[in-house]
Amino acid sequence: MSVTMPRLTRREFFRVGGVGVAGYHLLPMLAPRNVRAASKVEPRGGAEVTILLFLSGGASQTDTFDVKEGSWTPPDFDIRTVTPGLRLPVGLLPNLSRQTGKYCIVRSIEAWEIDHGRGSYYVQAGRLLSPARVKEIPSVGAVIAYETAGRRKESDYLPAFLAMNVVTSAGMQLVGPGVLPASCGPMALSSTDPPPFLVPEQERDRFRRRLEMLKDLDAGWRQEDSDRGRLFRELDGKYQGAYPLLGNPRVSEVFKIASDEHQRYGSSALGDACVLARNIVQENAGNRFILISHGGWDLHRNAYDKTAKVNQYTLCTELDSALGSLLEDLASRTDEHRRPLLDKALVVCMGEFGRTTGELSTQKGRDHYRHAASALFAGGGVKGGKVLGVTNETGAKIVDPGWSQKRSIYPEDVLLTIYSAMGVDWTKKVTQTLSGRPFEYIENISPIGYMRFSEVSELFA
Amino acid sequence: MAGVKRLAALGCAFLAGMAIGFAATGKDHSKSAQPSGPAAASLTSEVARELSLAPGGKVQRQNYIDDFIFGKMEADGVPHASLTTDTEFQRRIYLDLWGRLPDAVDVRQFAADQTADKRDQLIDRLLGLDYPHKPGYDDYKLGPWMVEEPFLMRWTYWFGDLFYNGPIQGVEARNVFRQYLYYNLKYNIAYDHMVREMLTATAVTAQVDGPANFLTRSEVDGIRDTDVMHEDTCDEIAVNATKLFLGIDLECVSCHDGAAHLEGINLWLSRRKRVEFWRQAAFFGNLRIFRPTQNNQEFAVLEGPPLRPEAHWRGGGNGYRMDAVSVLRVARDKNAKVYPEFLLTKEQPAPGTSLRAEFARMITSDLQFAKATVNLFWAHFMTVGIVDPPFGWDLDRQDPHNPPPAPWTVQPSHPELLEALARDFQEHNFDLRYLMQTIVKSSAYQLSSRFEGPWKPAWDRYYARKLVRRLSAEEVYDALCKATNVFSEIGVAGTDKKVQFLMETYGPVFDKVDPAVKRFLDSFGRGNRKTTPSEAMPSVVQASLLLNSELVKSKVLASTKESLVGTLLGRTPALSNQQLVEELFLATLSRFPTAEEMKKSTGFLERYRDKGAEDLQWTLLNKLEFVVNY
């Protein structure tokens, strides 16, 4: 196959102009010949949106969801059996300890990588970081945006894929649309700032006036066949994408964080992101995948030191208030069909790898560890109140994977499970890519050779 | 194919072309490429409108670059854009060489300047190469170091990006490496010298030694943050050095042979074996990069016997061991025959010589070093490399006389030009400023981005018009501040410097910018010189920020201290609406308004004078041309 092969054909953005019109510009169009399914599978379906809460840096499994006790354990972790078979550090995760019926903990996760950049890439892309392919491999969020494009309603105005608080300097890189249309890529926001598309009430008239002037003065450079080149059309396409958000009075509702909710969610950037995620799920306006990053879990030093700016306590408190409140609200709120939001929102909480176990290191911390890690799953059909997988007494070794495949659960299995829940056929592949190698949504190739990845169906049973 | 044959003929004329190239540095070359244009003394917008129409007619060839570029288009019957206007050229060259917009007063002056070679004069001034023409020139008092600071800021930042001068090694090391780059650029030190110095540096601590910081940027941590994986570090150095200095990306063959992997991607690499990669890494086997203390940002870069008895001072330095654990790559093959052997020539270091010095010599004396470097700069100025991407060279597809088997095609769009540029660069002692000057003085660089009539994508690679690029995040932000005259102070970490332009900072991450500015930059794709490369993909968030962020909105307010709008409105006697419009266009878009723009804008100001001036500058900041070098 020649590398001069053109990129995937895609239709140009529809030009919709005007303010408040449906987000057709977000609807990706690919020539169908480029995407093929390899075999017949029946995705489970049921979930309409996925929230991936990513514990960036790699959370210690033995200090959170797979807690282990030893001489190193501070008493105020308050480790207790909260339901039969489930021990949790109630001192660190009081809210989540009360809601065990809503989620399933998986203790048999294994990572392939022990480097932050490559590990967090793996979770988003479901494969090894290959420099030769990095530009063409899309994020799981982009695949979902692409696959669910047909479900967009006329009134949808939110982008399908949102990313919040991904701080690139921490080694985590936000994976983009790859070979898929650019409109499937993430819209990256920070929950600590007002979103850039909130136009204050008192400025709306003026904003409209300015827009009209802009339209008038810049029409020539923005025309369909700009005689200055394609870049101008692309830039204009992004303006077309911004207009429905900027002119929309709903946006200020959705992106509002009331001070009592800010507090209830833990008064943190993560908490705010979770408030927004809840609002976005409730709004049901075209969003399908939210990636929220929670940084700081790379506790090599002084992990239990409460005087350290970031430590096991501060991180767990943030996580517990944010995720705990999110689960509460998703469970208690309903959509227009009186269906609890938690039924249609799949929530996955995990990091890029686990951490070393037992006594703390000489630096009083825990280092990167790939052979055991934990994750939390809730909503989207997941049956709560369960634990899958058992590790040995230090938490360093998985002794019972706890699922049909009788091996560790890898990031590929997690992504496949998300695809299945979202009703996406994971055997599909994009045959035409820049490198000539097809992009398979899930590739049955692991870093150690052939491996057949599978849905963790035990989560739903 | 006809084109290729024709080009071969052009190759013969290459020496003649070079002669023109050399003349271009002198002052006396006679040419009148510039449109004489209508009398520009009293530049009304009406005149400006006419000026903005690109002049038609034949484009004058300025140096050998033009012989290749226009020769090929002529041979293949490809039409090209006209020469760009003076004002567009001025904005373009400021952005490319200085990374910022020209002052409004300079735009006015340049437009009115009647000198025939004013473009060349401007280029020489921005490059700091006008000193031989200055009165009282003698080579002790005046020299390339007389260059103005914006040039040095731009290129120091640019090399900082290129060499990953980011956050990993901390503020001190970053600053000392930054200063090293700054002074090499200031004194216009030969690039090959700089590269050899970086590849062979030693330092007890890289915190006080600039060039030693090139190698430490390839350092690979072990599981514990304090460990350094010696062989992995050698691997990373080999990958980075061949990528940055030869344009060849060995990343794939650093894990596996090219065969059965790269056939569809890179012909030359598909024939490379992993063992050849190891042989590059083996040149660094004697290197000891380690942390002398628990400070995980401080590194020693040494060679030879350990200077202290502690165990970690003995780390590395004992060759490139094939049984070492790798945290980044598939395990090495213990049976492979690994010794230092240069990838391109199979040359091995002479016995008793320093391996790194030998590698540095081999790499910089190879023509591929010159080719990769000129192509990198060409890509900066021309948006697309002759080989593109610039770090994706396929060495089996370079020679038009020996073309690769179908369906492969010759990789460079202009192989003979590439060779001519490379040899010219070599013969001029790897003088970076000479290289830049040669490229930007060509008419090829000075074509308009505007093409009347339907454009064919295939003409892009002919450089038949200026290929536009979105400004980098730093450039966009600096342009915003400059256009509105509203700056926010940035403290350079580890110094007591306060600067206004992003380009004056020492790099992303440490320097204290306002959080809103940081988010703005992140949204526009600023890299972190570590894991995230900078990129210029447009996005909805970017559009939203320009349309609606406080950052942008506050800069156009008349009430904001020292804002351009406030200053203009405060003038006595008051400016007419026409004058106001003109000033705003000059400061924001570096050009005069067209007659139609003037009419629309003044009409708007008549309705809402003060608020309208704010609205107008907001509008101009949101015109697409603002974020583009076109």
pLDDT greater at residue B406 or residue B210: B210
Q: List the structure tokens of A266.
A: 């833990």
Mean pLDDT, residues B385-389 taken together: 95
pLDDT at residue B29 greater than cutoff 90: no
Which chain B residues have a beta carbon less than 8 Å from that of A368? 223
Flag whether residue B601 sits within 8 Å of chain A, measured between CB atoms. Answer: yes
Residues with Cβ < 8 Å from B167, sequence gap 6 or more?
A169, B174, B507, B508, B509, B510, B528, B529, B530
pLDDT of residue B9: 31
Please, what sign has the CA dihedral across residues A442, A443, A449, A454?
A: positive
pLDDT greater at residue A266 or residue B352: A266
pLDDT of residue A225: 65
Mean pLDDT, residues A249-274 taken together: 95
- A162 to A91, A199, A373, B70, B155: CA distances (angstroms): 32, 20, 26, 47, 35
In chain B, % helix, strand, coil (3-state, to 5) comes to: 50, 5, 45
* Bridge partner list, B301: B203, B289
pLDDT of residue A443: 95
Flag whether residue B325 sits within 8 Å of chain A, measured between CB atoms. Answer: no
Angle at A58 between CA A57 and CA A64, to 5 degrees: 130
pLDDT at residue A100 greater than cutoff 70: yes
Q: List the structure tokens of B236.
A: 């990373």
Which chain B residues have a beta carbon less than 8 Å from that of A225? 454
Q: What is the pLDDT of residues B142-180, one digit of tens each?
A: 889 989 999 999 999 999 999 999 888 899 999 999 999
Q: What is the pLDDT of residues B526-543, one digit of tens each?
A: 988 887 778 888 888 899
Cα-trace Rg, chain A: 22
Cα–Cα distance for residue pair B414/B39, rounded to 1 Å: 39
Q: How confident is the model at residue A227 (pLDDT cuts 50, 70, 90)?
A: confident
Phi, psi of B97 (to 5 degrees): -90, -35
CA A422 to chain B, closest CA, distance in angstroms equals 25
For the ranges A127-131, A306-310, B525-529, the maximum mean pLDDT occurs at A306-310
Q: List the structure tokens of B157.
A: 């930042």
DSSP of B570-605: T-SSPPPHHHHHHHHHHHHHSSPPPHHHHHHHHHHH
Q: Which of A205, A231, A287 to mutate to test the interface with B (most CBs of B within 10 A)?
A: A231
pLDDT of residue A168: 65
Q: What is the pLDDT of residues B299-358, one digit of tens each?
A: 999 998 999 999 889 888 989 999 999 988 889 999 999 999 999 999 999 999 999 999
Q: How confident is the model at residue B522 (pLDDT cuts 50, 70, 90)?
A: confident
- CA-nearest of B70, B47, B75, B36 to B442 is B70
Task: Kindly determine whether residue A214 and residue B451, on different chains, have CB atoms separated by under 8 Å.
Answer: no
Mean pLDDT, residues B562-583 taken together: 96
**How do beta strands B287-290 and A49-55 pair?**
unpaired
Q: Which of A193, A232, A246 sits opposite B519 (nearest CB)?
A: A193
Q: Which of B528, B530, B625 sits opposite A221 (nearest CB)?
A: B625
Are the C-beta atoms of residues B458 and B406 closer than 8 Å to each other?
Answer: no
Mean pLDDT, residues B233-240 taken together: 97
Q: What is the pLDDT of residues A415-430, one digit of tens each?
A: 999 999 999 999 999 9
DSSP state of B137: -
pLDDT at residue B225 greater than cutoff 80: no
Q: At B629, which helix (H) or strand (E)?
A: strand B628-629
Which chain B residues have a beta carbon less than 8 Å from that of A192? 515
Mean pLDDT, residues B260-267 taken together: 86
Cα–Cα distance for residue pair A121/B605, rounded to 1 Å: 51
Q: Which of B223, B530, B625 sits opposite A114 (nearest CB)?
A: B223
Which chain B residues have a beta carbon less than 8 Å from that of A245? 540, 544
Chain B residue with the nearest C-alpha to that of A226: B450
| Cis-peptide into B389, omega within 30 deg | yes
Q: How confident is the model at residue B404 (pLDDT cuts 50, 70, 90)?
A: very high
Mean pLDDT, residues A341-362 taken together: 97
Chain A residue with the nearest C-alpha to that of B529: A169
Cα–Cα distance for residue pair B370/B368, rounded to 1 Å: 5
pLDDT of residue A17: 27
Mean pLDDT, residues A375-393 taken together: 97
pLDDT at residue B581 greater than cutoff 50: yes
Q: Which of B251, B539, B618 sits opposite A210 (nearest CB)?
A: B618
Mean pLDDT, residues A39-46 taken together: 88
Q: How confident is the model at residue B31 (pLDDT cuts 50, 70, 90)?
A: very low
- Length reported for chain A: 461
Cα–Cα distance for residue pair A458/A461, rounded to 1 Å: 5
Task: Kindly determine whether residue B264 and residue A131, on different chains, have CB atoms separated by under 8 Å.
Answer: no
The strand ranges marked E within A23-143 are 35-37, 49-55, 79-83, 86-89, 103-109
pLDDT of residue A21: 30
pLDDT of residue A192: 85
pLDDT at residue B415 greater than cutoff 90: yes
pLDDT greater at residue A73 or residue B38: A73
Q: Which of A213, A245, A361 sits opposite B604 (nearest CB)?
A: A213
CB pairs under 8 A between A and B: 160
Cα–Cα distance for residue pair A77/B461, rounded to 1 Å: 64
Q: What is the pLDDT of residues B314-331, one digit of tens each?
A: 888 989 999 999 988 889
Please, what sign has the CA dihedral across residues B181, B182, B185, B190?
A: negative
pLDDT of residue B323: 94
Which chain A residues have a beta carbon less than 8 Å from that of B225? 300, 367
- B548 to A434, B44, B324, B510, B555: CA distances (angstroms): 36, 33, 54, 27, 12
Cα–Cα distance for residue pair A407/A409, rounded to 1 Å: 7
pLDDT at residue B21 greater than cutoff 70: no
CA A68 to chain B, closest CA, distance in angstroms equals 22
Residue type, B406: A
Q: At B270, which helix (H) or strand (E)?
A: helix B267-270
CA A134 to chain B, closest CA, distance in angstroms equals 12
Matching residue, tokens 């996955």:
A348
Pick from A1-10, B89-98, B180-189: least confident: A1-10
Matching residue, tokens 């990993």:
B168
Mean pLDDT, residues B606-628 taken together: 95
Are the C-beta atoms of residues B222 and B233 closer than 8 Å to each other?
Answer: no
Flag whether residue B329 sits within 8 Å of chain A, measured between CB atoms. Answer: no
CA B51 to chain A, closest CA, distance in angstroms equals 17
Q: List the structure tokens of B536.
A: 């210029």
CA B310 to chain A, closest CA, distance in angstroms equals 18
**Please, which residues 391-420 of chain B have a Cβ atom closer than 8 Å to chain A?**
407-409
Which chain B residues have a beta carbon less than 8 Å from that of A241? 540, 543
Matching residue, tokens 């705003």:
B584
Give pTM, 2 decimals. Answer: 0.83
pLDDT at residue A154 greater than cutoff 90: no
pLDDT at residue B609 greater than cutoff 80: yes
Mean pLDDT, residues A256-274 taken together: 96
Task: Kindly determine whether residue A114 and residue B327, on different chains, have CB atoms separated by under 8 Å.
Answer: yes
Chain A residue with the nearest C-alpha to that of B508: A169
Flag whether residue B532 sits within 8 Å of chain A, measured between CB atoms. Answer: yes
Q: List the structure tokens of B599.
A: 């009419």
- CA-nearest of B626, B576, B624, B625 to B601 is B576
Pick from A49-58, A150-159, B615-624: least confident: A150-159
